[in-house]
Structure 1
Amino acid sequence: MANAEPKGRIVTDSRRIAEIARGAKRVAVLGIKTEQQSEQPAFYVPAYLQGAGVEVVPVPVYYPDVTRILGQPVVRRLADVPGEIDIVDVFRRPSDLPPHVDDILAKRPKVVWFQSGIRNDEVATRLAAAGIEVVQDRCLMVEHRHAR
């Protein structure tokens, strides 16, 4: 197919970013916060997505006693999420990303999305080389709202 989108690249094209945001049906949120941190983007962005009809799979890094976030069961590793994931939405500091690469690669999501302020070119390059599209330093909530 001549016009097929290549898989595995660092995405900077606004049209493709809008396409990715619009097409998200199931998003695993790595680094999601709990309801007690509802004023933080790592909670209100996934809450917005869920309210917009996107299935959100919470994958918190902290909060070992929490079993549900946004009414959904918590999963501790991306590799343990059942089924396919359209996007892994990442709320982690750039320096904290490398330890998550193997877990992300084990799950093989279509897209890994680093939220606003999050950029790690080395990690992005590794994920893209493995066939995963990567969006860096963009807010999924903002892009989803604009793409609708």
Structure 2
Amino acid sequence: MAFSNPTRDEIKQILTDAQVIAVVGLSDNPDRTSYMVSAAMKAKGYRIIPVNPNAESILGETCYKSLKDIPEKVDIVNVFRRSEHTPPVAEEAVAIGAKVLWLQLGIHHDEAVHIAQNGGLKVITDRCIKVEDSILLPNGKSKS
């Protein structure tokens, strides 16, 4: 059966419930999409945890070399890596007990999807988390 992303209502619920987003491949270069998207998500109230083995801190947050090094619970693993590099990220996302594996716009890998789904994670691929958040929660995450 072919993969399909959750419905817009399900994605809205995922974003509403999420507090902590680990961003794999977050660049410390402000001109990179990963930086701009993560800065916008941080401004919207999400806690951003950078996963980048080549940086000390990004967006004022401590960087971690891998998902397994993060000392707190992660809701969403947001991935800015080429598709072929996503299966190991999916394995780590399962190992740390994340709730969602989110592969950014232009990223999809059937094996990564399979790994994450078999590990109990919800999976979203080929979608930009910032765009979805802007459309689905334009006024922020208030649950009023």
TM-score bin (small chain) = 0.7 to 0.9
Residues 1-148 of structure 1 aligned to structure 2 (within 5 Å): 11-34=5-28, 37-61=29-53, 63=54, 66-148=55-137
Q: Contact 2:90–2:113 (CA<8 Å) still a contact in 1?
A: no
1:10: Cα distance to partner?
5.9
Q: Contact 1:45–1:141 (CA<8 Å) still a contact in 2?
A: yes
Q: Contact 2:91–2:116 (CA<8 Å) still a contact in 1?
A: no
1:137: Cα distance to partner?
0.5
Structure 1 pair 87–29 and aligned structure 2 pair: CA distance change class (3 A): same
Q: In the alignment, residue 45 of structure 1 is paired with which amino acid?
A: V
SS of residue paired to 2:77: strand
Q: Which runs of 4+ in 1 moved over 4 A?
A: none
Please report the TM-score for the alignment, with normalisation by the length of structure 1: 0.84
Q: Contact 2:90–2:116 (CA<8 Å) still a contact in 1?
A: yes
CA distance in 1, matches of 2:78, 2:104: 7
Q: Which structure carries more relative contact order (alpha carbon 8 Å, separation 6+)?
A: 1
Q: Contact 1:10–1:133 (CA<8 Å) still a contact in 2?
A: no
Percent identity, please. 31
1:41: Cα distance to partner?
1.3
SS of residue paired to 1:97: helix
Give the number of aligned pairs.
135
> What stretches of structure 2 of length at least 5 have no aligned partner?
138-144
> What stretches of structure 1 of length at least 5 have no aligned partner?
1-8
Q: Contact 1:87–1:109 (CA<8 Å) still a contact in 2?
A: yes
CA distance in 1, matches of 2:30, 2:16: 24
CA distance in 2, matches of 1:83, 1:101: 18
Structure 1 pair 93–128 and aligned structure 2 pair: CA distance change class (3 A): same
CA distance in 2, matches of 1:100, 1:57: 15
